[in-house]
Structure 1
């Protein structure tokens, strides 16, 4: 698969994730928790980074994007461990505001907002690794 296709796919994923988070908070009036804010901080710039990559060096844009997505993946993984009670809440950073374990949305009995974030960061990180390993480097 070409780097151009991988870049456009990563751009689409980051756009859908950003739009989804804004939809949940602004349209559905679901306030984000502390960990959600950190994930947003790492997801939102990816749209700009990957958009610039369309006109400049694709591999270079993925180096920057991969840095953000790996940090986002770590936070999203931690958030899911908290959310599904695999680690105790006593070590949670969510001391004020919305709890990081509150169930705001649950589609099909298991698809939650933290899970959607985790999936987006996994996909973007995977695409970044593919680009860096790809022989075609523009």
Structure 2
């Protein structure tokens, strides 16, 4: 007895896997920076983590069961995380004035400790990860309904 695989699910699985790998590496990197390197996250980093960490879990489950409809649940998380990361990147870049910075206590959202390896801004890395995940989930959506 042979099982016919759904070609739409097969076409959506590749981008879904890549989206999960990005979410997983982002989650593990955030944990490494916080727990191993001892760099406390700022308020905006915490909010971004709140949207990235669940993506790592639900995208893993979606990959395991080949659920190409996961975009319905994952895309809102990725877009909201992207908006927070965009705000954080604009704040870090000095485009948004520090007077409306949400960090009143704890690490600064735009301080020099927001760089990894001395030159890569963490907010921009987060923005890139959320951007890639969002694009990949849109591709998953298109391939699953086409």
TM-score, structure 2 normalization = 0.86
**Do the aligned residues in 1 keep the contact of 2:51 with 2:80 (CA within 8 Å)?**
yes
Distance 1:32 1:12, change over 3 A: same
Match of 2:102 in 1: 93
Q: Which of 28, 31, 40 is equivalent to 1:19? A: 28
Which runs of 5 or more residues in structure 2 are unaligned? 1-9
1: CA distance, partners of 2:112 / 2:62 = 36
Which runs of 5 or more residues in structure 1 are unaligned? none
**Do the aligned residues in 1 keep the contact of 2:15 with 2:140 (CA within 8 Å)?**
yes
Aligned-CA RMSD value: 1.9
Equivalence map 1:1-138=2 (5 Å):
2-56=11-65, 58-104=67-113, 105-107=115-117, 109=119, 111-134=120-143, 136-137=144-145
**Do the aligned residues in 2 keep the contact of 1:50 with 1:62 (CA within 8 Å)?**
no
Deviation at 1:56, TM superposition (A): 3.6
Deviation at 1:132, TM superposition (A): 1.2
TM-score, structure 1 normalization = 0.91
2: CA distance, partners of 1:36 / 1:130 = 27
2: CA distance, partners of 1:119 / 1:82 = 16
What SS is found at the alignment partner of 1:2?
helix
1:92-118 deviation per Cα after TM superposition (whole angstroms, max 9, x unaligned) = 111111110012225474x21111101
2: CA distance, partners of 1:57 / 1:9 = 13
